[in-house]
Amino acid sequence: MANIPRAREILTEALEYNMDSEVRVRIEQAMQEMYRDFIGRKAPVTSMKMTPYLVRRIKAYAGENPSASYKAIANHFNVNQGRVSEALSGKYDERV
């Protein structure tokens, strides 16, 4: 898996060595390409915040509707499927 911060560290260390100025410029250019441009916007939050009450409701609904898919449960409660999975697996039992 890529590790961009580590690659930047290696290139920064490489800049300490004696090298041709063209090589130095190319390394610096490569380092500049390792940052994302911040666009300045995010999508609005559209799902409900996970609360202890919501977790209990999701678990109860899933128990009453054992054939319901995570997608169906998520749509019912206006949350994403990942939150349903986390709620049913017990992730929120101690956190929320």
In a domain, 22, yes or no: yes
56 & 80 share domain? yes
35 & 56 share domain? no
Is residue 26 pLDDT above 90, yes or no? yes
From CA 31, how far away is CA 8, in angstroms rounded?
6
Q: How confident is the model at residue 95 (pLDDT cuts 50, 70, 90)?
A: low
Domain that holds residue 32: 1-39
pLDDT tens digits, residue range 31-86? Answer: 888 888 777 788 887 778 889 999 999 999 999 999 999 999 999 999 999 999 99
Three-state DSSP string of the chain:
CCCHHHHHHHHHHHCCCCCCHHHHHHHHHHHHCCCCCCCCCCCCCCCCCCCHHHHHHHHHHHHHCCCCCHHHHHHHHCCCHHHHHHHHHCCCCCCC
Q: How many domains does the chain have?
A: 2
In a domain, 30, yes or no: yes
